[in-house]
Amino acid sequence: MGCPGASGPGPRAWVLRLLLGLAAWRGGAGGRSPVCGCCPGPARNGSSVASYCRAHPALELRGRCCVGPEPGAIVGLDLGNCSLTLLCAGFPDASAAVVIDLTENPLENIPNASFQGFTRLQSISLPLALECPGGSMAWDRITTHRDSRTCQGQRNPCNSSGELAWLCPENSLCSPDGPGLVQCLCAGSYHGYKCLREGTFPMLLFYGILGAVTTTLSLLAWGTQRRKAKAS
Ligand SMILES: *[C@@H]1O[C@H](CO)[C@@H](O)[C@H](O)[C@H]1NC(C)=O
Ligand SMILES: *[C@@H]1O[C@H](CO)[C@@H](O)[C@H](O)[C@H]1NC(C)=O
Ligand SMILES: *[C@@H]1O[C@H](CO)[C@@H](O)[C@H](O)[C@H]1NC(C)=O
Ligand SMILES: *[C@@H]1O[C@H](CO)[C@@H](O)[C@H](O)[C@H]1NC(C)=O
Protein backbone atom coordinates (compact mmCIF):
# COMPACT_ATOMS: atom_id res chain seq x y z
CA MET A 1 0.00 0.00 0.00
CA GLY A 2 1.09 3.55 -0.41
CA CYS A 3 2.39 4.47 3.02
CA PRO A 4 5.97 3.51 3.95
CA GLY A 5 6.39 6.25 6.57
CA ALA A 6 4.77 9.50 5.57
CA SER A 7 6.96 12.48 4.95
CA GLY A 8 6.38 16.14 4.46
CA PRO A 9 7.32 18.00 1.32
CA GLY A 10 11.12 17.95 1.56
CA PRO A 11 13.11 19.58 -1.26
CA ARG A 12 13.34 16.30 -3.12
CA ALA A 13 9.59 15.83 -2.86
CA TRP A 14 9.12 19.28 -4.34
CA VAL A 15 11.32 18.46 -7.31
CA LEU A 16 9.39 15.22 -7.73
CA ARG A 17 6.09 17.11 -7.57
CA LEU A 18 7.31 19.54 -10.18
CA LEU A 19 8.23 16.63 -12.47
CA LEU A 20 4.90 14.92 -11.78
CA GLY A 21 3.17 18.23 -12.45
CA LEU A 22 4.92 18.46 -15.79
CA ALA A 23 3.94 14.87 -16.55
CA ALA A 24 0.32 15.63 -15.63
CA TRP A 25 0.42 18.71 -17.82
CA ARG A 26 1.71 16.61 -20.70
CA GLY A 27 -0.98 14.03 -19.88
CA GLY A 28 -3.42 16.94 -19.94
CA ALA A 29 -2.71 17.21 -23.65
CA GLY A 30 -5.31 14.41 -23.72
CA GLY A 31 -5.70 12.75 -27.08
CA ARG A 32 -2.04 13.29 -27.87
CA SER A 33 -0.85 11.05 -25.03
CA PRO A 34 0.75 7.84 -26.37
CA VAL A 35 -1.69 5.83 -24.27
CA CYS A 36 -4.53 6.86 -26.65
CA GLY A 37 -2.66 5.24 -29.52
CA CYS A 38 -1.35 2.29 -27.53
CA CYS A 39 -3.55 0.04 -29.64
CA PRO A 40 -4.69 0.76 -33.22
CA GLY A 41 -8.20 1.89 -34.04
CA PRO A 42 -10.80 3.92 -32.18
CA ALA A 43 -12.45 3.05 -28.88
CA ARG A 44 -14.69 0.05 -29.52
CA ASN A 45 -18.24 1.05 -30.25
CA GLY A 46 -20.30 -0.47 -27.47
CA SER A 47 -17.51 -0.36 -24.88
CA SER A 48 -18.35 1.34 -21.58
CA VAL A 49 -15.90 4.09 -22.57
CA ALA A 50 -17.66 4.85 -25.87
CA SER A 51 -21.08 4.90 -24.17
CA TYR A 52 -19.81 7.17 -21.41
CA CYS A 53 -18.28 9.52 -23.93
CA ARG A 54 -21.44 9.67 -26.07
CA ALA A 55 -23.53 10.38 -22.98
CA HIS A 56 -21.47 13.49 -22.15
CA PRO A 57 -21.64 16.06 -24.97
CA ALA A 58 -18.58 17.99 -23.73
CA LEU A 59 -16.41 14.90 -24.23
CA GLU A 60 -15.06 13.48 -27.46
CA LEU A 61 -13.38 10.26 -28.57
CA ARG A 62 -9.80 10.54 -29.73
CA GLY A 63 -8.11 7.28 -30.58
CA ARG A 64 -8.67 4.93 -27.67
CA CYS A 65 -9.37 7.83 -25.31
CA CYS A 66 -12.38 9.87 -24.35
CA VAL A 67 -11.07 13.34 -23.61
CA GLY A 68 -12.51 16.48 -22.05
CA PRO A 69 -12.43 19.95 -23.59
CA GLU A 70 -8.95 21.50 -24.03
CA PRO A 71 -6.51 20.99 -22.43
CA GLY A 72 -8.27 17.66 -22.72
CA ALA A 73 -7.72 15.44 -19.70
CA ILE A 74 -8.26 11.74 -20.40
CA VAL A 75 -11.65 10.89 -18.91
CA GLY A 76 -12.06 7.45 -20.43
CA LEU A 77 -9.71 4.82 -21.85
CA ASP A 78 -10.71 1.75 -23.87
CA LEU A 79 -7.83 -0.68 -24.32
CA GLY A 80 -10.10 -3.65 -24.92
CA ASN A 81 -9.02 -6.29 -27.48
CA CYS A 82 -5.48 -4.86 -27.72
CA SER A 83 -3.49 -8.10 -27.18
CA LEU A 84 -1.95 -6.58 -24.07
CA THR A 85 0.00 -8.76 -21.66
CA LEU A 86 1.16 -5.66 -19.75
CA LEU A 87 -0.29 -2.17 -19.45
CA CYS A 88 1.04 0.23 -22.08
CA ALA A 89 3.68 2.76 -21.27
CA GLY A 90 1.92 6.06 -20.71
CA PHE A 91 -0.87 4.41 -18.72
CA PRO A 92 -0.31 6.89 -15.84
CA ASP A 93 -1.37 9.66 -18.26
CA ALA A 94 -4.89 8.35 -17.73
CA SER A 95 -4.82 8.92 -13.96
CA ALA A 96 -7.81 11.30 -14.17
CA ALA A 97 -9.94 8.68 -15.95
CA VAL A 98 -13.45 7.93 -14.71
CA VAL A 99 -13.98 4.82 -16.84
CA ILE A 100 -11.44 2.27 -18.12
CA ASP A 101 -11.92 -0.90 -20.17
CA LEU A 102 -9.15 -3.52 -20.32
CA THR A 103 -11.27 -6.52 -21.35
CA GLU A 104 -10.35 -9.10 -24.03
CA ASN A 105 -6.63 -8.89 -23.33
CA PRO A 106 -4.28 -11.68 -22.21
CA LEU A 107 -3.30 -9.58 -19.18
CA GLU A 108 -1.89 -11.80 -16.46
CA ASN A 109 -1.46 -9.55 -13.49
CA ILE A 110 -1.62 -5.82 -12.87
CA PRO A 111 0.24 -4.50 -9.85
CA ASN A 112 -2.04 -2.47 -7.56
CA ALA A 113 0.47 0.36 -7.74
CA SER A 114 -0.32 0.82 -11.48
CA PHE A 115 -3.45 2.65 -10.33
CA GLN A 116 -1.72 5.02 -7.97
CA GLY A 117 -3.30 8.46 -8.32
CA PHE A 118 -6.42 7.11 -10.13
CA THR A 119 -8.71 8.69 -7.54
CA ARG A 120 -11.56 9.52 -9.96
CA LEU A 121 -11.89 6.03 -11.40
CA GLN A 122 -15.51 4.89 -10.99
CA SER A 123 -15.70 1.91 -13.34
CA ILE A 124 -13.08 -0.50 -14.62
CA SER A 125 -13.69 -3.63 -16.67
CA LEU A 126 -11.04 -6.35 -16.70
CA PRO A 127 -10.55 -9.88 -18.04
CA LEU A 128 -12.33 -12.27 -15.66
CA ALA A 129 -9.01 -13.75 -14.52
CA LEU A 130 -8.00 -10.49 -12.86
CA GLU A 131 -9.15 -9.21 -9.48
CA CYS A 132 -10.31 -5.62 -9.05
CA PRO A 133 -7.44 -3.18 -8.52
CA GLY A 134 -6.77 -2.77 -4.79
CA GLY A 135 -8.81 -5.94 -4.04
CA SER A 136 -12.59 -6.38 -3.84
CA MET A 137 -12.80 -4.28 -0.65
CA ALA A 138 -11.79 -1.21 -2.63
CA TRP A 139 -15.08 -1.20 -4.63
CA ASP A 140 -18.80 -0.86 -3.92
CA ARG A 141 -20.09 -3.20 -6.65
CA ILE A 142 -18.41 -5.99 -8.55
CA THR A 143 -20.21 -7.73 -11.39
CA THR A 144 -18.94 -10.62 -13.48
CA HIS A 145 -19.97 -11.47 -17.01
CA ARG A 146 -18.99 -14.40 -19.22
CA ASP A 147 -15.36 -13.37 -19.59
CA SER A 148 -15.04 -10.04 -17.82
CA ARG A 149 -15.28 -8.41 -14.42
CA THR A 150 -16.48 -4.86 -13.75
CA CYS A 151 -15.55 -3.01 -10.58
CA GLN A 152 -17.65 0.08 -9.85
CA GLY A 153 -17.77 2.79 -7.21
CA GLN A 154 -14.32 3.33 -5.82
CA ARG A 155 -14.46 3.33 -2.02
CA ASN A 156 -12.64 5.88 0.03
CA PRO A 157 -9.91 3.91 1.85
CA CYS A 158 -9.65 6.74 4.40
CA ASN A 159 -13.29 6.32 5.51
CA SER A 160 -12.78 5.21 9.12
CA SER A 161 -16.24 3.61 9.22
CA GLY A 162 -15.52 1.45 6.18
CA GLU A 163 -13.76 -1.94 6.29
CA LEU A 164 -10.63 -0.58 4.68
CA ALA A 165 -9.91 1.95 7.47
CA TRP A 166 -6.30 2.75 6.94
CA LEU A 167 -4.26 4.14 9.79
CA CYS A 168 -1.86 6.96 9.12
CA PRO A 169 0.86 7.78 11.64
CA GLU A 170 0.15 10.42 14.26
CA ASN A 171 0.30 14.02 13.02
CA SER A 172 -0.71 12.96 9.52
CA LEU A 173 -3.92 12.87 7.52
CA CYS A 174 -5.10 10.09 5.28
CA SER A 175 -5.75 11.06 1.66
CA PRO A 176 -7.10 8.65 -1.03
CA ASP A 177 -4.57 7.80 -3.74
CA GLY A 178 -6.37 5.35 -6.00
CA PRO A 179 -8.23 2.02 -5.48
CA GLY A 180 -7.21 0.71 -2.03
CA LEU A 181 -4.32 3.17 -1.94
CA VAL A 182 -3.75 6.04 0.43
CA GLN A 183 -1.25 8.76 1.02
CA CYS A 184 -0.44 9.96 4.51
CA LEU A 185 0.09 13.70 4.37
CA CYS A 186 1.70 15.42 7.32
CA ALA A 187 -0.70 17.67 9.20
CA GLY A 188 -0.04 21.31 9.99
CA SER A 189 3.59 22.12 10.61
CA TYR A 190 4.77 18.52 10.97
CA HIS A 191 7.18 17.14 8.41
CA GLY A 192 9.95 14.59 7.90
CA TYR A 193 9.96 10.82 8.36
CA LYS A 194 6.59 9.67 9.77
CA CYS A 195 5.79 13.37 10.33
CA LEU A 196 7.81 13.31 13.53
CA ARG A 197 9.44 16.70 13.08
CA GLU A 198 7.62 19.87 13.90
CA GLY A 199 8.23 23.40 12.62
CA THR A 200 8.03 24.94 9.19
CA PHE A 201 10.37 23.60 6.58
CA PRO A 202 13.40 25.91 6.45
CA MET A 203 12.53 26.95 2.91
CA LEU A 204 14.08 30.38 3.34
CA LEU A 205 17.36 28.85 4.44
CA PHE A 206 17.31 26.45 1.49
CA TYR A 207 16.67 29.15 -1.10
CA GLY A 208 19.02 31.51 0.79
CA ILE A 209 21.90 29.07 0.38
CA LEU A 210 20.94 28.34 -3.22
CA GLY A 211 20.86 32.09 -3.95
CA ALA A 212 24.21 32.71 -2.26
CA VAL A 213 25.87 29.93 -4.23
CA THR A 214 24.44 31.21 -7.52
CA THR A 215 25.49 34.79 -6.79
CA THR A 216 29.04 33.73 -5.86
CA LEU A 217 29.38 31.66 -9.02
CA SER A 218 28.09 34.48 -11.23
CA LEU A 219 30.43 37.00 -9.57
CA LEU A 220 33.35 34.62 -10.07
CA ALA A 221 32.45 34.12 -13.73
CA TRP A 222 32.00 37.88 -14.23
CA GLY A 223 35.39 38.56 -12.57
CA THR A 224 37.14 36.04 -14.78
CA GLN A 225 35.55 37.47 -17.93
CA ARG A 226 36.57 41.01 -16.94
CA ARG A 227 40.18 39.99 -16.29
CA LYS A 228 40.26 38.22 -19.66
CA ALA A 229 38.79 41.31 -21.33
CA LYS A 230 41.38 43.61 -19.68
CA ALA A 231 44.28 41.30 -20.64
CA SER A 232 43.33 41.34 -24.32
C1 LIG B 1 -21.55 3.14 -33.00
O2 LIG B 1 -22.78 3.12 -32.29
C3 LIG B 1 -23.59 4.26 -32.48
C4 LIG B 1 -24.82 4.15 -31.62
O5 LIG B 1 -24.69 3.18 -30.64
C6 LIG B 1 -23.96 4.38 -33.98
O7 LIG B 1 -24.72 5.54 -34.18
C8 LIG B 1 -22.69 4.44 -34.80
O9 LIG B 1 -23.01 4.43 -36.17
C10 LIG B 1 -21.79 3.27 -34.50
N11 LIG B 1 -20.53 3.45 -35.19
C12 LIG B 1 -19.88 2.47 -35.78
C13 LIG B 1 -18.59 2.82 -36.47
O14 LIG B 1 -20.29 1.33 -35.77
C1 LIG C 1 -10.47 -7.86 -31.91
O2 LIG C 1 -9.54 -7.31 -32.82
C3 LIG C 1 -9.38 -8.05 -34.01
C4 LIG C 1 -8.32 -7.38 -34.85
O5 LIG C 1 -7.34 -6.80 -34.08
C6 LIG C 1 -10.69 -8.13 -34.76
O7 LIG C 1 -10.55 -8.92 -35.91
C8 LIG C 1 -11.76 -8.72 -33.84
O9 LIG C 1 -13.01 -8.69 -34.51
C10 LIG C 1 -11.85 -7.96 -32.56
N11 LIG C 1 -12.76 -8.63 -31.66
C12 LIG C 1 -13.75 -7.97 -31.06
C13 LIG C 1 -14.66 -8.81 -30.20
O14 LIG C 1 -13.94 -6.75 -31.17
C1 LIG D 1 -3.76 -5.78 -4.44
O2 LIG D 1 -4.19 -5.50 -3.11
C3 LIG D 1 -5.11 -6.44 -2.58
C4 LIG D 1 -5.60 -5.93 -1.23
O5 LIG D 1 -4.52 -5.52 -0.43
C6 LIG D 1 -4.45 -7.82 -2.49
O7 LIG D 1 -5.38 -8.76 -2.00
C8 LIG D 1 -4.01 -8.21 -3.89
O9 LIG D 1 -3.31 -9.45 -3.83
C10 LIG D 1 -3.12 -7.16 -4.52
N11 LIG D 1 -2.90 -7.50 -5.90
C12 LIG D 1 -1.71 -7.47 -6.49
C13 LIG D 1 -1.67 -7.85 -7.92
O14 LIG D 1 -0.69 -7.13 -5.89
C1 LIG E 1 -18.00 5.31 4.78
O2 LIG E 1 -18.27 3.92 4.89
C3 LIG E 1 -19.60 3.63 5.30
C4 LIG E 1 -19.72 2.12 5.51
O5 LIG E 1 -19.09 1.39 4.48
C6 LIG E 1 -20.59 4.16 4.25
O7 LIG E 1 -21.90 3.91 4.64
C8 LIG E 1 -20.38 5.67 4.08
O9 LIG E 1 -21.20 6.15 3.03
C10 LIG E 1 -18.93 5.96 3.75
N11 LIG E 1 -18.72 7.40 3.71
C12 LIG E 1 -18.03 8.00 2.74
C13 LIG E 1 -17.87 9.46 2.85
O14 LIG E 1 -17.51 7.38 1.81
pLDDT tens figures, 39-96 = 999 999 989 999 999 999 999 999 999 999 877 899 999 999 999 999 998 999 999 9
Looking at the structure, tell me whether residues 103 and 197 fall in a common domain. no
Instruction: Report the amino acid identity of residue 62.
Output: R
Inter-CA distances, 164 with 132, 154, 156, 167, Å: 15, 12, 8, 9
Looking at the structure, tell me whether residues 169 and 84 fall in a common domain. no
Looking at the structure, tell me whether residues 128 and 201 fall in a common domain. no
pLDDT band at 215 (very low <50, low <70, confident <90, very high): low
**Residue 11 belongs to some domain of the structure:** no
- Residue 87 Cα to ligand 2 midpoint, Å, equals 18
**Residue 189 belongs to some domain of the structure:** yes
**Atom 14 of ligand 2 has which residue's CA nearest to it?**
81
Looking at the structure, tell me whether residues 130 and 79 fall in a common domain. yes
Is residue 178 a contact partner of residue 119, using CB atoms and an 8 Å limit?
yes
Which ligand minimizes its atom distance to the CA of 55? 1
Looking at the structure, tell me whether residues 92 and 71 fall in a common domain. yes
pLDDT band at 22 (very low <50, low <70, confident <90, very high): very low
pLDDT higher at 164 or 220: 220
pLDDT higher at 39 or 199: 39
Domain count, the chain: 2
Residue 113, phi then psi, degrees to nearest 5: -65, -15
- Residue 99 Cα to ligand 1 midpoint, Å, equals 19
CB of 116 closer than 6 A to ligand 4? Answer: no
Q: Where are the beta strands (DSSP E) in the chain?
A: 60-62, 65-67, 74-78, 99-101, 123-127, 139-144, 148-154, 172-176, 182-186, 190-191, 197-198
- Residue 45 Cα to ligand 1 midpoint, Å, equals 6
**Residue 117 belongs to some domain of the structure:** yes
Write down the mean pLDDT value for the chain: 81
Task: Report the SS3 class of residue 18.
Answer: helix
Looking at the structure, tell me whether residues 141 and 162 fall in a common domain. no
- Residue 163 Cα to ligand 3 midpoint, Å, equals 15
pLDDT higher at 195 or 1: 195
Q: Pick from 205, 179, 119, 168: which is nearest to 8 by CA?
A: 168
pLDDT higher at 29 or 199: 199
CB of 112 closer than 6 A to ligand 3? Answer: yes
**Residue 135 belongs to some domain of the structure:** yes
Q: Is the pLDDT of residue 209 over 80?
A: no
**Residue 35 belongs to some domain of the structure:** yes
Which range has the top average pLDDT, 22-31, 69-78, 128-137, 189-198?
128-137
CB of 152 closer than 6 A to ligand 4? Answer: no
Looking at the structure, tell me whether residues 35 and 96 fall in a common domain. yes
Is residue 219 a contact partner of residue 194, using CB atoms and an 8 Å limit?
no
**Residue 113 belongs to some domain of the structure:** yes
CB of 162 closer than 6 A to ligand 4? Answer: yes
Looking at the structure, tell me whether residues 168 and 55 fall in a common domain. no
The pTM of the full predicted model, rounded to 2 decimals, is 0.74
Task: Report the SS3 class of residue 222.
Answer: helix
**Residue 2 belongs to some domain of the structure:** no
**Residue 220 belongs to some domain of the structure:** no
d(CA 82, CA 74): 18
Looking at the structure, tell me whether residues 141 and 63 fall in a common domain. yes
CB of 152 closer than 6 A to ligand 2? Answer: no
Looking at the structure, tell me whether residues 135 and 44 fall in a common domain. yes
Domain that holds residue 128: 28-155
Could you tell me the maximum CA-CA distance found in the chain, to the nearest angstrom? 84
Looking at the structure, tell me whether residues 81 and 138 fall in a common domain. yes
- Residue 147 Cα to ligand 1 midpoint, Å, equals 23
Strand partners, 123: 99, 152
Q: In sequence order, which ranges of the chain are alpha helices (DSSP H)? A: 11-28, 48-55, 203-231
Looking at the structure, tell me whether residues 149 and 35 fall in a common domain. yes
